[in-house]
């Protein structure tokens, strides 16, 4: 099997397809393990604001960057909402803006609790 990941394939899928034949384990089992590992790392990052992965490095939640990203996402949300409501744009452009708007809103929903937890932790010090 080729050592380089094809651009059309996600890293997760590539890992699964590479590991299954080498370990003689089904792709479903490997996918379940990878999903569990990422879910555990995400939970640890949420509760501890840091995760260290041996042989990879240390991941740290940076509140300043998160607040800056939230501001950028909120500005994008406003701009995309205007595009969706702009009847002068073609239906296709408004539809694309609507898809992007939904993606931005999902990112805001995911980021907001992390920032709020950090802010409440700082006020309790």
Q: What are the angstrom distances between the C-alpha of 22 and each of 14, 30, 94, 125? A: 13, 11, 47, 50
In 44-89, beta strands by DSSP E:
50-53, 57-60
pTM, two decimal places: 0.58
Q: pLDDT per position in the chain (125 positions), as tens?
A: 457 888 888 888 998 999 999 999 999 999 999 999 888 888 887 777 788 888 888 888 888 999 999 999 999 999 999 999 999 999 999 999 999 999 999 999 988 888 876 656 555 55
- Given phi > 0 = left and psi -120 to 50 = alpha, else beta, which region is 51? beta
Distance between alpha carbon 90 and the CA centroid of its chain, in Å? 30
Q: Give CA–CA dist 49/57, Å, rounded.
A: 14
For residue 1, the model assigns a pLDDT of 47
For residue 125, the model assigns a pLDDT of 52
For residue 118, the model assigns a pLDDT of 60
Q: Which of 84, 81, 82, 74 is nearest to 111 (CA)?
A: 74
For residue 5, the model assigns a pLDDT of 83
For residue 62, the model assigns a pLDDT of 86
Q: How far apart are the first and last CA of the chain?
A: 54
Q: Give CA–CA dist 84/94, Å, rounded.
A: 5
């Amino acid at each position: 099997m080729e050592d380089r990941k094809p651009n059309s394939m996600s890293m997760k899928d590539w890992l699964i397809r590479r590991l299954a034949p080498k370990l003689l384990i089904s792709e479903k089992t490997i996918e379940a393990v990878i999903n569990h590992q990422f879910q555990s790392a995400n939970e640890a990052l949420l509760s501890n604001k840091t995760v260290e992965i041996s042989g990879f490095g240390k991941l740290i939640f940076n509140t300043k960057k998160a607040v800056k990203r939230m501001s950028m996402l909120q500005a994008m949300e406003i701009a995309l909402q205007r595009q969706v409501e702009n009847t002068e744009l073609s239906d296709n452009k408004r539809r694309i803006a609507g898809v992007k708007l939904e993606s931005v809103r999902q990112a805001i929903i995911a980021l907001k609790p992390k920032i709020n937890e950090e802010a409440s932790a700082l006020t309790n010090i």
